[in-house]
Amino acid sequence: MNSVTVRVPAKVNLQLAVGPLRDDGYHDLVNVFHAVSIFDEVTATAETGMSVRVEGESADQVPEDGDNLAIQAALALARHAGRSYGVNLIIRKAIPVAGGMAGGSADAAAALVACNELWGLGLPVEDLMEIAADLGSDVPFALLGGTAVGTGRGERLTPLEVGGRFHWVFALADGGLSTAKVYAECDRMREATGEEIAWPRAADPLLAALRRGDAKALGSELANDLQPAAVMLRRSLARTLETGREQGAVGTLVSGSGPTCAFLAESEAHAGELALSLKAAGVARDVITAYGPVPGPTVV
């Protein structure tokens, strides 16, 4: 086999509960991840060295060297196999870069799946999961797809039952937000208010809404502890969220560490209407519709 292409989805966090800052600098999280139908594609082709090229709208914001998470994933896999394999990766990006939709983690997961196939390693998903957890806290979910609760730093995953398809609108912003800066701002704001930080746990009404496939109920349960910090760092997000609410979204939230905003609609047709209203209001660089949950990385 000379070349393998893998399609991999973005994610939105339906609930992101951030616990107190730990001594190791991380936070305990409860993360309800949901994979949505915005896809990057990663093509792995046999080559002697390791190289990566990025194509697509925001390609210029993604490193094409050892900092690229997909290359780091390929290297980690080769190391795990104890061989010096080579690969050329071509990443076609549709997932917004630094948009809080885990695009880099998605590419890393796609690279693991593609190289496992290309190099004929046949490693089971459990092995890939272990490598994924070392690469970053969002990579294990990127490998799993669907909808799942993540605990710890996000890497201990339990898949969730979902009783239907949810329709989303995503408002993309100009430029990204650094995940590290958003967490730091969250810590700063919490310290300033002296608020009691609850131990994070998944919200039962949210899990029940997912099981029932009930968009309205899910909409009112969406929650992101990073949202105040993301809005503080990017004030324009307050207006974007407010516009979605005014235009009838059944739920609104900042996706992960932002700045992408997610709006839940009641149906596919409602998502289409909501997207048009948000476009017309001029509150986003671009507006796209998607649905979830979708499966994780798929060889195409």
Task: Flag whether 296 is marked binding.
Answer: no
Residues 113, 118: Cα–Cα separation, whole Å: 9
Per-residue binding letters, 33-72, with ligand ATP (x by CB under 6 A): ----------------------------xxx---xxxx--
**Does residue 145 interact with ligand ATP by CB under 6 A?**
no
28: annotated active-site residue:
no
Residue 80 · residue 118 · CB < 8 Å: no
216: annotated active-site residue:
no
Total binding residues toward ligand ATP, as defined by CB under 6 A: 23
Task: Flag whether 105 is marked binding.
Answer: yes
Structure token digits, residue 252 = 């609104």
Per-residue binding letters, 168-187, with ligand ATP (x by CB under 6 A): --------x--x--------
Residue 252 · residue 261 · CB < 8 Å: yes
Residues 62, 96: Cα–Cα separation, whole Å: 11
Task: Flag whether 114 is marked binding.
Answer: no
Residues 20, 16: Cα–Cα separation, whole Å: 13
Q: Smaller CB distance to ligand ATP: residue 8 or 206?
A: 8
| Residue 106, amino acid | A
Residue 208: strand, helix, or coil: helix
| Catalytic residue from among 40, 107, 138, 225 | 138
Site for ligand ATP in 76-135 (CB under 6 A): 91, 97-105, 107
Select from 145, 142, 118 the least CA-distant residue to 131. 142
Residues 37, 291: Cα–Cα separation, whole Å: 5
Task: Flag whether 251 is marked binding.
Answer: no
Extract the annotated binding site: 96-106
Extract the annotated binding site for ATP: 96-106
Q: Which residue ranges make up the site for ligand ATP (CB under 6 A)?
A: 61-63, 67-70, 91, 97-105, 107, 138, 176, 179, 256-257
